[in-house]
DNA sequence: CAATTGGGGTTCCCTGAAGGAACTTCAACT
DNA sequence: AGTTGAAGTTCCTTCAGGGAACCCCAATTG
């Protein structure tokens, strides 16, 4: 085996990594989210190799995370988030929150979120869909689900 | 340049990827979280190359996400989550939620979370720390923060 | 209407990282 | 003294990322 295939593991983390776990993919997603949607823009903004950018975009399109869409009568394309991709942004927001807290240092966070509902600057927090209380690593027990292996 | 260094970018996503973005790292973290904490156990459970496992564990320890701790008078060690690492599990939980929804298929989720506070099975959702309302990709504006580049 | 421009890729070579198996070390147990 | 088992290390092969050059196509320009 060359590079291990995470997609076949009975684990939603591994499967998710199969979609956006390759190097650069989360940053491509971030850029598309904030409006950097074209090949040339992405390549220039990220400093990524054109070859790898092509591979990542194709993979994200295949996985249904991005849609490749013409924006001109010339052969010009932009990449936009699908619903599946938009929901992946939750992941980016949590990554941002953690990075802001643990890695930003003196300078502080590079980007802030203003929440439409309240107009305030803030970060997202994980809360239980049932009771609305915080739901972090230490607040849950893990149980085997219907899709468990063996 | 060989492999691009994400750690120096002015982006908390890129910086977080520098810590856990390498292949296998999130799965190592998951295993440690659920109690697979020793070298041999991790190697067997993941099917990862021993060489790469060594590299990942060292990196995660250097980054302060895991702590390497003796558990015997013989030279035996286990890896445990630090506070910094425990907070990273938020990321794993969100990955799990997305994977459950979009990739689990017929079989359903392999793992379920039971929330201590309410005793129910459920998934975490992102909510604003200020107002408590849902906070997803489409609910925020992005603003430059104090650590923004140039 | 030939030449230019620019977006969106492909192709090529080189190096570095992942896979995998064999080997090493060290303390305790037999 | 020999064996065991955890925890790595070493070595070789193959594959993926970096980087630069090249290609294709439609519209605009001279």
B29: which residues sit within 8 A by CB, 6+ positions away? B20, B60, B65, B66, B81, B85, B88, B89, B92
**What's the distance, CA B60 to chain centroid?**
11
Q: Is residue A46 part of a domain?
A: yes
pTM of the model: 0.95
Residue in A11, A88, A108 closest to B147 by CB? A108
Q: Is residue B134 part of a domain?
A: no
Q: What is the spatial distance between Cα A14 and Cα B99, in angstroms, rounded to a whole number?
A: 9
Residues in chain A with CB shorter than 8 Å from the CB of B115 are 128, 130-131, 133, 135, 139-140
Q: What is the spatial distance between Cα A128 and Cα A33, in angstroms, rounded to a whole number?
A: 26
Residue nearest to nucleotide C20 (CA to C1'): B49
- Beta strands in chain A, from DSSP E residues, in sequence order: 66-70, 77-81, 111-115, 124-128, 140-144
- Could you give the dihedral angle defined by the CA atoms of residues A113, A92, B22 and A9, in that order, rounded to the nearest 10 degrees? 160
Share of chain B above pLDDT 90, in %: 89
Cβ distance A15 to A6 under 8 Å? yes
- Tell me if B92 and A26 make a contact (CB, 8 A cut-off): no
Cβ distance B146 to A108 under 8 Å? yes
Q: Is residue A18 part of a domain?
A: yes
- Could you give the dihedral angle defined by the CA atoms of residues B136, B139, B143 and B149, in that order, rounded to the nearest 10 degrees? 20
Residue A1 has pLDDT above 50, yes or no: no
Termini Cα distance of chain B:
23
Of A58, A5, A69, A56, the residue nearest A30 (C-alpha): A56
Q: Is residue A59 part of a domain?
A: yes
Write the DSSP symbol of residue B35: T
Q: Is residue B87 part of a domain?
A: no
Q: Which strand D nucleotides have any atom less than 7 A from protein CB atoms?
A: 5-11, 14-21, 25-27
Q: Is residue A44 part of a domain?
A: yes
Residue B127 has pLDDT above 50, yes or no: yes
Residues in chain B with CB shorter than 8 Å from the CB of A132 are 127, 132
Write the pLDDT tens digit of every residue in A72-107: 988 899 999 999 999 999 999 999 999 999 999 889
Residues in chain A with CB shorter than 8 Å from the CB of B145 are 108-112
Domain count, chain B: 1
Q: Is residue A28 part of a domain?
A: yes
Q: Is residue B53 part of a domain?
A: yes
Measure, in angstroms, how far nucleotide D2 C1' is from residue B69 CA: 30
Residue A68: CATH number of its domain: 1.10.10.10
Q: Which domain holds residue B32?
A: 12-82
Residue labelled with tokens 């392999």: B110
Q: What is the spatial distance between Cα B105 and Cα B90, in angstroms, rounded to a whole number?
A: 23
Write the pLDDT tens digit of every residue in B20-46: 999 999 999 999 999 999 999 999 999
Residue in B95, B100, B128 closest to A115 by CB? B128
């Amino acid at each position: 085996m060359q590079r291990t295939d995470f997609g076949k593991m009975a684990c939603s983390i591994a499967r998710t990594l199969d979609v956006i776990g390759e190097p650069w993919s989360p940053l491509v997603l971030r850029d598309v989210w904030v409006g950097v949607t074209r090949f040339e823009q992405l390549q220039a903004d990220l400093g990524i190799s054109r070859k790898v950018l092509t591979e990542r975009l194709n993979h994200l399109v295949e996985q249904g995370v991005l849609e490749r869409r013409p924006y001109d009568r010339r052969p010009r394309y932009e990449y936009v988030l699908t619903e599946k991709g938009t929901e992946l942004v939750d992941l980016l927001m949590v990554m941002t929150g953690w990075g802001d807290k643990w890695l930003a240092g003196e300078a502080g966070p590079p980007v802030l979120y203003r929440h439409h509902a309240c107009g305030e600057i803030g970060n997202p927090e994980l809360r239980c869909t049932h009771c609305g209380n915080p739901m972090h690593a230490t607040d849950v027990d893990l149980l085997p689900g219907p899709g468990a292996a063996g």
